[in-house]
């Protein structure tokens, strides 16, 4: 699931300077689940913007809308089609894909991102998410006991661990973070499959997915 | 002209190497002084490659300086700053100028350095780098094309004997040995029991490879505690920190030299391993005093 | 309502703060009359959006008043409310409202005096602005 | 359907002198959607209500605002009145102009009163109907745990006419650890055997031995419990569950540095020796007890120590010393027990730091600094009865996470909110009694058991329970199944279900829901609506503040 985080208001205000009526567009899918850009967050950001501009002469006028899934053209047009003509700029609370879908459809109006899309992840506990997959296009999990070294090891090593592991099997860059390769070692040891870690792995094909990636279904 | 490091590895029974850290700038004066001071007293001089991810004068540049002044350099290469094209190109250039010892490292992470927003490379890791050097030695590049003019490198790698848990490190160490290395220079060693334990494992894996124990010069209790927290792969036991703390004001450095000397002497006398690699980070001028303290 | 009226919106949990307000009335204790009490089933029902909307609609101060943390009828209601008030405070700080105009208060149902002190403190704070 | 609001203002027998009711009445008529305003001075009295009801009938008012005092009775009295008129009881909105306005401010408060009424009226415009309905409940009860608490619960429930299933590996539990009971003639053994006979003879109680709970699904009134007995798997539905899984004791080796060998024994071993005096090669001259070393000072070890010390004195007459840091004597009858032990010659020594224990030619040497004497005391005793740490039974953690119920810092079931939920757990229909709730004594345990049985009887006996249907509701088309509400609900009343659209969404169980609204506030998709405190209703009250009067 895509995880994102709201930008600080200062940054958003700078983007919107010069525009008076704004459409704040949320998305009901990934960014709702990670509490970043759902309908509730649209309401909160709109309140903040109105409060911020309440001092000025003619303050901001804000339209609020939430698209079912902001990376689908039909859904964007269906939800925002009639509101965009009434505004000067669109503040999208979708992930990067959402922002660009909206920008491609309404080319006449500037579209600004209100979120920073951070990673593909899963919930650690309610309200906290961790990165699990780097979408590298050439999955290595079968050889690492289901723990991804490309993303969860700070250096993305295939023949880990590095020499910098801290006492207690923690990562070099953060004493709280478990070293991915120590986790892999323990799990493979438990499964009696340590030979997987002992095997040498060739340098990775970092162009398995030519960026920007494009996938076409066989029958498309 | 110092004898070639490869010869030293074959002939000498106790090998001593030291580390020359490049400066953060283009003024090579200080480096030249260190080179003159150390070139005759050690079997080879390692040159770090942006140590702790802090940008400095390039390792290859300093190696050429050492070569020009009759010393025997060891080129350190990390996988953090260059992808496989750049590394192969650098190796060809190094060899063409007579630098034929290379220490293959993964490299510290960007987060511990002074350019924390840089894009880390890590196209290769240390084991893959060792295989790469072997490929070049066999006259081909990684894409399989023939080289016009081959190379023949003496290959080194590092190891972390004081890692906890030790299991994963031994797996990595075995991979490096399988890849084929001529010498090993370990991370800082302070607990000789741990070193002995590591050596037992190592000897079971490979009798031939020469293993040099890494000795990092301690300057004071505060610096030792700082290193524990921030420098990857270094773990100074508390009793050494206390010993340094008790040393009277201003004598921290000489206490550090004395500790280093003691460690080296014990390693040598008890033949724990094949030599030492002295890392006097930022105090290369003290290396001769350490050698004296160790009776070398 | 506009900001100059210095109105205080108090979201009061019906188990504790609402009862404390009633007790203040029954014992004829006086407190500033610019507070408007909105009854909620639990402090945990109050969301960040309610707080921001209150300010947006012109409230000068907002109090979220729930049970004491260990004695919340719904166990985590007051704790969650505290977290949300903290988040609301950071959001309000971004728009320049950072004089402590929003506050989490933990009360037991009989704490009429404490209720009054909190209301008075908030009233003085927004007057002083 | 057009909203038509009727406002009924009560001036509390003209006692609210600082409100100008004529002005209030005049202004209130102009509020949005208000069609009728009436002033009365005795809405809480019979005739005051009568003419209010008749007033509602004429201009077919469909929302009622009552402005007056804050007495709780108003809500259900007027709620019923509305129902009699065919109006939904939820179409009621209250403005508290007495305790929260007239009585608590000096000077004229007409404007504030008007504003409070407008807040209530504005909220009334958004009120939706809420239906009430009966939900059938299964009258079977499951009791897990066959110790003293388990058997007593089953007997108590069957006494109330409820059919019970009792699960246990072996009937007996921890009672065997007590040699005798002060003030109770029957020995623990006799108590247990009589209870076993009663359980066996009771046709309301079905006993499943060597069985354990593997899964619990569903909510109060309809739990589906899968029970494992060896490889056999049984699935059965119950209306309520009582957990009486008892506690475990463990001698903490680090407290005694020595491995518990011959001379350091547990309470149970001492009881066995007392019951078969032949065990001792020779009569022990001195026996020591050590208590409260790990400063948990729980009650059960104190109870067993005092009872057994007294039993040793009576039976063997040997010297008895009790080393303790503090002695918790707050359970019933323990003060008397302590005094009798002293009178019988049991010596109590109070220590601050942990006593040093060592072996000396086959006997146990205990050295400690006695606080009262103020000097070191050394004692050689034949046997030292070690203090045992009271621990939650195995599987507590797995069970509590499966049931989504918290445990306290010691790992016992929800001891922390004991003043909120002394017996019930935070999930309706699930109860905890006995040792598994942490430290307690027999009078407390018996009280817990009868009150748990009574609340289950109240819940299940009528066979159906009246609930407000979907007062707090998940709108399934907005729900993103992000599980936040399921994880956040303090009463575990929300579970994921597959609805007709094959999509998995959250569902709030009306009987289990306690109406706190935490889920409605935290839902990132704003898919949960709490009728009566919905977002638009709360915002309507906020918006009504300060409008030009």
User: Which of B52, B124, B163 is the best substitution to test chain A (most A C-beta atoms within 10 A)?
Assistant: B163
For the segment D55-81, the average pLDDT, to the nearest whole number, is: 81
Domains, in order of start, for chain A = 2-119 (3.40.50.2300), 136-198 (no CATH)
Share of chain B above pLDDT 70, in %: 99
Least confident of A25-34, D88-97, D240-249: D240-249
CB C39 within 8 A of CB D517: no
Selecting from D98, D406, D518 the residue whose C-beta is nearest the C-beta of C74 gives: D518
> pLDDT for D388-447, tens place per residue?
777 787 778 888 888 888 777 777 776 556 666 777 888 888 998 887 877 677 778 888
Three-state secondary structure call for residue B65: helix
More confident residue, B148 or B227: B148
Least confident of A11-20, D275-284, D334-343, D525-534: D275-284
In chain D, which residues have their Cβ closer than 8 Å to the Cβ of A28? 478, 480, 525
C62 forms bridges with which residues in the sheet? C9, C102
**Mean pLDDT, chain D, whole residue set:** 83
> pLDDT for C67-83, tens place per residue?
998 888 888 999 999 99
> pLDDT for A24-52, tens place per residue?
999 999 999 999 999 999 999 999 999 98
- Whether the pLDDT of residue C85 is over 70: the answer is yes
Contact A126 D483 (CB under 8 A): yes
More confident residue, D326 or C27: C27
pLDDT of residue D366: 84
Contact A40 D523 (CB under 8 A): yes
Q: Where are the alpha helices (DSSP H) in chain B?
A: 5-11, 29-38, 59-68, 84-96, 126-137, 167-179, 192-205, 221-230, 238-246, 252-269, 287-293
Three-state secondary structure call for residue D356: strand
Tokens of B107: 């490299």
Tokens of B45: 């001089």
Contact C52 A40 (CB under 8 A): no
Is it true that the peptide bond before D462 is cis, omega within 30 degrees of 0? no
Which ipTM value was assigned to this complex?
Answer: 0.82
Q: Which CATH architecture has domain D249-390?
A: 3-Layer(bba) Sandwich (3.50)
More confident residue, D121 or D46: D121
Q: Which residue from A63, A73, A114, A109 is spatially nearest to A91, judged by alpha carbons?
A: A114
* D291 phi, psi to nearest 5 deg: -130, 150
CA distance B58 to B75: 10
Selecting from C33, C38, C49 the residue whose C-beta is nearest the C-beta of D541 gives: C38
Banded model confidence at residue D257, pLDDT cuts 50, 70, 90: low
| Tokens 């104190």 found at | D302
> pLDDT for C86-111, tens place per residue?
999 999 999 989 889 999 999 999 99
Contact A158 B109 (CB under 8 A): no
B80 burial type by CB count under 10 A (0-12 exposed, 13-18 middle, 19+ buried)? buried
Contacts of D339 (CB under 8 A, 6+ apart): none
Three-state secondary structure call for residue B218: coil
CB D335 within 8 A of CB D343: no
What percent of chain C is helix, strand and coil (3-state, nearest 5)? 50, 20, 30
Contact C52 A52 (CB under 8 A): no
Q: Which residue from C121, C3, C5 is spatially nearest to C63, judged by alpha carbons?
A: C121
Contact C94 A40 (CB under 8 A): no
Q: Which residue from B44, B40, B48 is spatially nearest to B20, judged by alpha carbons?
A: B48
Tokens of D49: 């209500």
- Whether the pLDDT of residue D296 is over 80: the answer is no
CA distance D495 to D513: 11
For the segment B47-58, the average pLDDT, to the nearest whole number, is: 95
A52 forms bridges with which residues in the sheet? none
- Whether the pLDDT of residue D474 is over 70: the answer is yes
For the segment D261-271, the average pLDDT, to the nearest whole number, is: 75
Contact A159 B142 (CB under 8 A): no
Whether the CB of B35 is below 8 Å from some CB of chain A: the reply is: no
Share of chain D above pLDDT 70, in %: 89
Whether the CB of A135 is below 8 Å from some CB of chain C: the reply is: no
Q: Which CATH architecture has domain D141-247+392-464?
A: 3-Layer(bba) Sandwich (3.50)
For the segment B159-170, the average pLDDT, to the nearest whole number, is: 92
| Tokens 């510290």 found at | B108
Contacts of B47 (CB under 8 A, 6+ apart): B19, B20, B21, B22, B59, B60, B62, B63, B66, B73, B74, B75, B76
CA distance B120 to B110: 6
Domain boundaries, chain C: 16-110
Domains, in order of start, for chain B = 5-218+275-286 (3.20.20.220)
Three-state secondary structure call for residue D357: strand
Chain D residues within 8 Å of chain C (Cβ atoms): 70, 96, 98-101, 103-106, 109, 112, 115-116, 119, 406, 416-417, 419-420, 426, 488, 490-491, 514-518, 520-522, 530, 532-533, 535, 538-539, 541-543, 545-547
Inspect the structure and tell me whether chains B and D have 3 or more CB pairs less than 8 Å apart.
Answer: no
pLDDT of residue D543: 92
For the segment B11-30, the average pLDDT, to the nearest whole number, is: 93
- Whether the pLDDT of residue B61 is over 50: the answer is yes
| Tokens 């031939």 found at | B208
Whether the CB of C13 is below 8 Å from some CB of chain D: the reply is: no
Q: If you average pLDDT over each of A34-38, A203-207, A211-215, D82-86, which comes out highest?
A: A34-38
Contact A51 C48 (CB under 8 A): no
Contact A52 C95 (CB under 8 A): yes
CA distance D199 to D197: 5
Whether the CB of A46 is below 8 Å from some CB of chain D: the reply is: no
Q: What is the CATH number of domain D470-530?
A: 3.30.70.20
**Mean pLDDT, chain C, whole residue set:** 92
- Whether the pLDDT of residue D297 is over 60: the answer is no
pLDDT of residue D549: 47
Contact C59 D106 (CB under 8 A): no
Contact D480 A29 (CB under 8 A): yes
Least confident of B116-130, B231-245, C21-35: B231-245
pLDDT of residue D241: 92
Q: Which fold has domain D5-130?
A: Rossmann fold (3.40.50)
CA distance D528 to B63: 68
Chains C, D: CB pairs < 8 Å = 124
pLDDT of residue C11: 97
pLDDT of residue B142: 95
> pLDDT for A53-106, tens place per residue?
877 766 889 999 999 999 999 999 999 999 999 999 999 999 999 999 999 999
CB A138 within 8 A of CB A204: yes
User: Which of D484, D521, D524, D542 is the best substitution to test chain A (most A C-beta atoms within 10 A)?
Assistant: D524
In chain B, which residues have their Cβ closer than 8 Å to the Cβ of A155? 80, 106-107, 109, 120, 122, 125
Domain with CATH 3.50.50.60 in chain D: 141-247+392-464, 249-390
Q: If you average pLDDT over each of B96-100, B237-241, D220-224, which comes out highest?
A: B96-100
For the segment B248-274, the average pLDDT, to the nearest whole number, is: 91
Please tell me which residue of chain A has the smallest CA distance to B174: A198
Euclidean distance between the first and the last CA atom of chain A, given in angstroms as a whole number? 24
Please tell me which residue of chain A has the smallest CA distance to C55: A51
pLDDT of residue D435: 79
Contact B106 A162 (CB under 8 A): yes
In chain C, which residues have their Cβ closer than 8 Å to the Cβ of D100? 21-22, 25, 37
- Whether the pLDDT of residue D294 is over 60: the answer is no
Selecting from C3, C47, C95 the residue whose C-beta is nearest the C-beta of A48 gives: C95
Contact C49 A43 (CB under 8 A): yes
- H/E/C letters for each residue in D146-183? CCHHHHHHHHHHHHCCCCEEEEECCCCHHHHHCCCECC
CA distance B257 to B236: 15
pLDDT of residue A178: 93
Q: If you average pLDDT over each of A38-52, A202-216, D343-357, which comes out highest?
A: A38-52
Whether the CB of A39 is below 8 Å from some CB of chain D: the reply is: yes
Contact B168 A165 (CB under 8 A): yes
pLDDT of residue D172: 57
């Amino acid at each position: 699931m895509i995880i994102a985080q709201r930008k600080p208001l200062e940054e958003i205000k700078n983007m919107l300077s010069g525009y008076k009526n704004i459409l704040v567009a949320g998305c009901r899918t990934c960014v709702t689940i990670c509490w970043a850009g759902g309908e509730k967050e649209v309401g909160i950001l709109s309140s903040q913007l109105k409060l911020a501009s309440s001092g000025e002469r003619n303050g901001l006028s804000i339209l609020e809308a939430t698209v079912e899934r902001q990376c689908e053209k039909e859904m964007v047009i269906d939800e925002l089609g009639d509101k965009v003509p009434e505004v000067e700029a669109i503040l999208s609370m979708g992930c990067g894909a959402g922002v660009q879908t909206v920008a491609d459809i309404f080319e006449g109006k500037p579209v600004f991102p209100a979120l920073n899309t951070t990673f593909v992840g899963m919930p650690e506990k309610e309200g906290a998410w961790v990165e699990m997959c780097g979408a590298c296009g050439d999955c290595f999990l079968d050889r690492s006991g289901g723990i991804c070294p490309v993303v969860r090891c700070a250096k993305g090593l295939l023949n880990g661990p590095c020499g910098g592991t801290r006492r207690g099997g923690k990562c070099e860059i953060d004493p709280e973070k478990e070293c991915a390769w120590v986790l892999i070692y323990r799990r493979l040891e438990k499964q009696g499959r340590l030979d997987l870690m002992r095997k040498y792995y060739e340098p990775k094909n970092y162009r398995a997915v030519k960026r920007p990636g494009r996938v076409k279904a066989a029958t498309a | 002209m110092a004898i070639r490091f490869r010869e030293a590895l074959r002939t000498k029974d106790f090998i001593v190497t030291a580390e020359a850290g490049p400066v953060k700038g283009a003024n090579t004066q200080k480096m030249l002084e260190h080179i003159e001071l150390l070139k005759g007293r050690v079997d080879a001089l390692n040159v770090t490659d942006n140590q702790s991810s802090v940008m400095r004068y390039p390792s290859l540049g300093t190696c050429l300086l050492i070569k020009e002044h009759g010393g025997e350099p060891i080129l350190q290469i990390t996988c953090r700053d260059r992808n496989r094209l750049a590394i192969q190109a650098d190796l060809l250039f190094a060899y063409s100028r007579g630098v034929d010892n290379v220490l293959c490292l993964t490299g510290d992470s960007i987060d511990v350095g002074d350019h924390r927003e840089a894009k880390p490379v890590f196209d290769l890791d240390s084991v893959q780098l060792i295989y790469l050097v072997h490929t070049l030695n066999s006259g081909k590049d990684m894409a399989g094309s023939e080289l016009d003019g081959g190379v023949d490198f003496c290959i080194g790698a590092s190891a972390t004997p004081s890692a906890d848990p030790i299991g994963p490190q031994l797996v990595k160490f075995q991979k490096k040995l399988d890849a084929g290395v001529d010498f090993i220079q370990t991370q800082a060693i302070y607990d000789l029991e741990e070193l002995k334990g590591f050596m037992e494992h190592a000897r079971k894996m490979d009798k031939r490879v020469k293993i040099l124990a890494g000795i990092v010069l301690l300057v004071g209790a505060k610096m030792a505690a700082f290193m524990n927290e921030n420098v990857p792969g270094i773990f100074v036991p508390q009793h050494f920190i206390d010993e340094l703390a008790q040393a009277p004001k201003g004598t921290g450095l000489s206490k550090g030299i004395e500790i280093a000397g003691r460690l080296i002497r014990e390693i040598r006398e008890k033949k724990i391993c094949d030599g030492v690699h002295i890392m006097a980070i930022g105090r290369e001028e003290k290396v001769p005093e350490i050698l004296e303290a160790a009776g070398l | 309502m506009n900001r100059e009226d210095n109105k205080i919106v108090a979201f009061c949990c019906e188990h504790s703060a609402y009862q404390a307000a009633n007790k203040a009335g029954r014992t004829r204790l006086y407190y500033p009359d610019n507070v408007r009490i909105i009854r909620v089933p639990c402090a945990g029902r109050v969301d960040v959006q309610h707080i921001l909307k209150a300010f947006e609609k012109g409230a000068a101060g907002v109090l979220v008043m729930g049970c004491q943390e260990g004695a919340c009828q719904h166990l985590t209601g007051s704790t969650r409310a505290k977290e949300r008030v903290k988040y609301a405070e950071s959001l309000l700080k971004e728009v320049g409202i950072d004089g402590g105009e929003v506050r989490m208060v933990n009360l037991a149902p009989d704490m009429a005096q404490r209720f009054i002190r909190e209301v008075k403190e908030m009233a003085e704070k927004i007057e002083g602005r | 359907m057009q909203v038509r609001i009727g406002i009924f203002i009560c001036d509390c027998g003209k006692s609210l002198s600082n409100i100008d009711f004529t002005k209030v009445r005049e202004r209130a008529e102009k509020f949005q959607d208000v069609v009728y305003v009436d002033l009365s001075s005795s809405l809480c009295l019979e005739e005051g209500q009568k003419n209010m009801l008749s007033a509602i009938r004429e201009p077919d008012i469909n929302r009622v605002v009552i402005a007056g005092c804050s007495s709780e009775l108003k809500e259900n009295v007027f709620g019923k009145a509305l129902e009699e008129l065919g109006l939904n009881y939820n179409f009621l909105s209250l403005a508290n102009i007495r305790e929260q306005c007239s009585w608590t401010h000096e000077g004229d408060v007409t404007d504030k009163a008007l504003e409070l009424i407008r807040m209530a009226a504005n909220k009334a415009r958004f009120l939706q109907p809420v239906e009430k309905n009966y939900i059938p409940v299964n009258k079977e009860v499951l009791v897990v745990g066959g110790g003293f608490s388990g058997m007593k619960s089953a007997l108590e429930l069957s006494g109330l006419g409820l059919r019970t299933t009792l699960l246990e590996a072996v009937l007996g539990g921890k009672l065997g650890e007590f040699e005798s009971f002060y003030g109770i003639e029957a020995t623990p053994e006799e108590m247990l055997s009589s209870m076993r006979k009663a359980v066996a003879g009771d046709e309301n109680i079905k006993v499943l031995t060597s069985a354990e709970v593997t899964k619990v699904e569903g909510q109060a009134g309809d739990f589906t419990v899968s029970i494992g007995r060896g490889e056999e798997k049984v699935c059965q539905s119950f209306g309520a569950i009582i957990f009486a899984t008892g506690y475990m004791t463990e001698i903490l080796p680090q407290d005694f540095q020595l491995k518990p060998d011959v001379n350091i024994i547990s309470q149970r071993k001492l009881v066995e020796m007392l019951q078969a005096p032949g065990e001792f090669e020779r009569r022990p001259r001195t026996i020591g007890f050590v208590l409260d070393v790990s400063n948990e000072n729980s009650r059960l070890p104190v109870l067993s120590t005092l009872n057994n010390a007294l039993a040793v004195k009576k039976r063997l007459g040997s010297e008895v010393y009790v080393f303790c840091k503090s002695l918790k004597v707050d359970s019933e009858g323990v003060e008397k027990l302590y005094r009798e032990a002293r009178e019988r010659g049991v010596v109590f020594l109070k220590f601050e730091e942990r006593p040093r224990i060592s072996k000396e030619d086959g006997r146990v040497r205990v050295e400690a600094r006695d606080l009262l004497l103020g000097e070191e005391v050394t004692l050689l005793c034949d046997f030292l009865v070690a203090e045992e740490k009271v621990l939650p039974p195995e599987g507590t953690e797995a069970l509590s996470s499966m049931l989504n119920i918290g445990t306290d810092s010691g790992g016992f079931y929800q001891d922390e909110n004991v003043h909120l939920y002394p017996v019930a757990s935070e999930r309706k229909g699930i109860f905890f009694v006995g040792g598994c709730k942490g430290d307690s004594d027999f009078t407390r345990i018996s009280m817990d058991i009868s009150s748990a049985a009574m609340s289950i009887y109240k819940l299940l006996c009528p066979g159906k329970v009246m609930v407000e249907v979907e007062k707090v509701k998940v709108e399934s088309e907005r729900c993103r199944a992000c599980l936040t509400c399921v994880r956040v609900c303090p009463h575990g009343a929300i579970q994921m279900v597959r609805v007709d659209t094959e999509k998995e969404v959250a569902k709030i169980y009306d009987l289990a829901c306690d109406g706190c609204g935490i889920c409605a506030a935290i839902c990132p998709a704003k898919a949960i609506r709490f009728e009566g405190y919905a977002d638009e209703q709360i915002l309507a009250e906020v918006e009504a503040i300060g409008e030009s009067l």
